[in-house]
Amino acid sequence: MERYCEAANIIADDFTLVTHPLWLELSIKLPEKLPTKEEQTTILSPLHHQIPGGHWTLLVLDTKHGSLAHYDPARLGGLVDKVFTKVQPWISNLLPTVPKWCTSVLSGPKQDDVVSCGLFVLGAIAHILTTHSPQLEDMPSSPATIRELLAEYLGHAVTLFESKPRCTISPIKLPSLRQA
């Protein structure tokens, strides 16, 4: 999850930031500030829930329009309410210039097992970054298709990363510290 989120930021436009998967832990004290990126207006934050077996969901914060959206590929009862109850006061405190935060549930594909939530969340991130829209209705719903999408997406990120200019470090000669 962590490496994928790093790769997603290589591809993301200037207005979107994908957080580290453990940046926003709802079971502990929430961060005192938002991560920033020049011109950022959207934050995609994978959330790991401390429930038996663990579970991944996605929170989409739109700081420009004051909206919070949540995607839960398992549709666990009551989870979205817990997320919004914890996040809404926190984000209102961090961004008091936004008069009212709207909340919505993203209706993307539903996982049909108990282990693929992380795959669906990564697929949702890739879908949002490639379509520039948080609408997940037309996101692939087959785990195999999502894996193909992610492999293609990561391949594109690697190509972009490898094409970026790198700085080189040339050795320098230091003066001798010995006295003659």
Domains of the chain: 2-145+156-161 (3.40.395.10)
Rounded mean pLDDT, 166-170: 47
Rounded mean pLDDT, 154-166: 61
- Which residue do the tokens 């580290």 mark? 20
pLDDT at 165 over 60: no
Burial class (CB in 10 A: 0-12, 13-18, 19+), 35: middle
Q: The whole model's pTM is what?
A: 0.83
Distance CA 180, CA 166 (A): 40
The per-residue pLDDT for range 55-88, each reduced to its tens digit, is 999 999 998 889 999 999 999 989 999 999 999 9
Rounded mean pLDDT, 114-136: 91
